[in-house]
Structure 1
Amino acid sequence: MGALGLYVVGHEGIVFDLQGIGDMESRGYLPKDYVEILPCMAAFAVVVETGSFIEASVKIGVTASAVSKQVSKLESALSLRLIERTTRSLKVNAEGQQIYKHCKSVLESSANVFRLKDRLADGPQGLVRIGVPKSLYATCSKLIPDFLSAYRDVNVQLVCGEKFDFISDSIDVGIVITDKPPEGMVARQLFVVDFVLCAAESYLNKSGLISHPAELPVHSCITFIGDLDKQYWKFRSLDEFCEVSIPGRYLSDCPEAALTATISGIGVSCLPLCLAHEALKSNQLTNVLPEWNYKGALQGTAWIVYPPGQLVSKRIKVMVEYLMSELVALSGAWSVGR
């Protein structure tokens, strides 16, 4: 094939080597100027299968003259004669036989699109990529197994991160913590993500009780790598604001690791309430400074966001509804034991 060839790829490889733009060759796309040739390919395939322009016209639903013009247009585009015509008969030549195989694959692929449409309409199926922030990753990950059991034709990829580009990252459903949901997306409010300052009784018995945030710099503190507020923790009470520098004895970018270290008595940490509530409820952890509220970059209102439009796939719809139902129900219990 020439360096400037243009072609369509079918089941068996390269279909047509046409004149055109070189960079299209590596991607296997038919250029825009040749898109109108696709109906001609389909018409040619039907003509070969029926052996008649008239019978082909009946199947396609146009006149025999229109079918003949489409075949001629394909021959012109390819600079090849495909059919030897007489007034009474037609014969597909050797070149036409080779081209027919690939035109038939184009026709079959088109039919498969609609067969797939019918199958997809039966129920949710396919892959759903979900973007989840670190503070909610553990909570969401616990919900996915039940979803997979309920929807056996849906696959899930759970991606952890604080910021996503829904297009370049191929995210179908995202959970974001923000005061302003991203524009151009459907956003449904979930709950407020709170953080809680906590420690194990074993640590407090050893290091002493904490009565004010200003005392934290002398304590063993557990902070998050990558947290914008890792150098400082900010707190607000009813009548006071306090910002303290935190040295951080143990740093991790994993909230679950910080939870484990805190339960082990390593020190004091600010944890997402959704992650710490069970340990607080079971008295594995104690809420330190309950009259103070932590204010940080990783807290705020959680939203579930997904692309707009009436044609949102069923797999995305069921995932959104499932996460909405489960997360909102869970959030009602997170304040217990705080």
Structure 2
Amino acid sequence: MDNRTGEMQVFLRVVETGSFSEAARLLRLTPSTVSKLVSRVEARLGVRLIERSTRALSLTAEGQLYYQRGQALLQELDRIEQEITCGAVATGGTVRVNVSVAIGVLGLEPILPDFWRAYPNIAVDLSLSDEIVDLYLDRTDIAFRIGTLPDSGMLARRIGSSRRKIVAAPAYLERAGVPRTVEDLARHNCLGFNFRRAEPVWPLKESGRIVDRAVNGSLLANNGETVRRMALAGVGVARLGGYHARADLNAGRLVEVLADVVEPDEEEMHAVFLGGQRMPQRVRVFLDFVVPRLQGFLEG
């Protein structure tokens, strides 16, 4: 392991104390260890830094330069660490957030004005996408994810769950008929998704057990909002989260069908993030502010 800064600190302490033994005492090392570390620096550089005698130590010209530059380098390192530490605990900076389109538009965006009133120095870099992002590669602080979480080294805070519903516009049902059974879906235009984790099946209850029923339709979209709008336009039947269809169902723009068939079909929502105990303060306060409010949003 490269420990040049540690060796540099030992060298500086020797120069400042004028003694290998005193430097060793302050550093809680043995004098022989201190001498070996200084010799290692000299061997790596190919020059002598300290002239040793029984009476005193003196710096060579190279040693004086190494001391001056090393002192400046370590001071700069201290300043960098202090700046980062202060930035981590200060309630300011940018929080990078990724969230699905529906949760972002319906759940998160209405919360943000109140968040900024409480934390005006925190900027939110918000990306809406139903695709799963890599938090490391995308430099994302928090991702709000729907569905089962894969095993990973990331941390997660559960927000809640929402029942999926099969819905359609009244105009579509008038034209195509109301599906009464699982088998009826075979003759309906079932709107779906095209992202990689999406399966062309809907888990439905049939004869008392859950089955994955293959569905087909004229639309495959990469986000739930497009699917919802096409359902509203009377294009076909959609399977959406309850939070996503709630306002349209209450207004009568969409109608739930096969409610007894999809009763156990629920999806989990989590906030996924990095950091743990070393999480920057700006990320921590964002989570603490947003998560309980999103919980209320899911519960309706």
TM-score bucket of the superposed structures, by smaller chain: 0.7 to 0.9
The aligned counterpart of 1:316 is 283
Aligned 1:1-338 pairs, distance under 5 A: 32=1, 34-35=2-3, 37-44=4-11, 53=18, 61=26, 69=35, 71-83=38-50, 90=58, 92-93=60-61, 95-96=62-63, 98-100=65-67, 102-116=69-83, 118-120=85-87, 122-130=89-97, 132=99, 136-139=103-106, 141-142=108-109, 145-146=112-113, 147=115, 150-151=118-119, 152-153=121-122, 155-156=124-125, 158=127, 160=129, 163=132, 172-178=141-147, 182=151, 186-226=155-195, 231-236=200-205, 244-293=213-262, 299-306=266-273, 309-333=276-300
One-letter amino acid of the structure 2 residue matched with residue 256 of structure 1: E
Question: 8 Å contact 2:111–2:290 — kept in the other structure?
Answer: no
Distance change >3 Å, CA 96–CA 160, structure 1 → 2 = farther
Q: Which runs of no fewer than 5 residues in structure 1 stay unpaired? A: 1-31, 334-338
Q: Using structure 1 for the length normalisation, give the TM-score.
A: 0.66
Report the RMSD for the aligned CA atoms in angstroms.
Answer: 4.2
Which residue is equivalent to 1:19? none
Structure 2 CA distance for partners of 1:78 and 1:149, relative to 1, 3 Å: farther
TM-score normalized by structure 2? 0.73
Distance in 2, matches of 1:135 and 1:221, equals: 19
Partners in 1 of 2:134 and 2:89 — Cα distance? Answer: 30
Tell me how far apart the structure 1 counterparts of residues 67 and 260 of structure 2 sit (CA, whole Å).
78
Shift of 1:329: 0.9
- 8 A contact 2:88–2:279 mirrored in 1: no
Higher relative contact order (CA 8 A, sep 6+): 2
The amino acid across from 2:252 in the alignment is: N
Do the aligned residues in 2 keep the contact of 1:191 with 1:331 (CA within 8 Å)?
yes
SS in 2 for 1:317: helix
Give me the whole-angstrom Cα distance separating, in 2, the residues matched to 1:272 and 1:289: 15
Contact 1:213 1:242 in 2 (8 A): no
CA contact (8 A) 1:197 1:294 kept: no
CA contact (8 A) 2:107 2:297 kept: no
Map Cα deviations across residues 237-258 of structure 1 (whole Å, 9 max, x no partner). Answer: 7957676543211221211111
Give the Å deviation of 1:80. Answer: 1.1
Amino acid at match of 1:248: G
Aligned length: 291
Work out the percentage of aligned pairs sharing the same amino acid: 22
Between the aligned partners of 2:205 and 2:145, the Cα distance in structure 1 is 24
In the aligned structure 2, how far is the partner of 1:211 from the partner of 1:182? Answer: 38
Aligned to 1:336: none
Distance 1:229 1:73 in 2: 58
Query: Residues 322 and 208 of structure 1: is their aligned pair in 2 closer, same or farther, counting only changes over 3 Å?
Result: same
8 Å CA contact 1:129, 1:159 repeated in 2: no
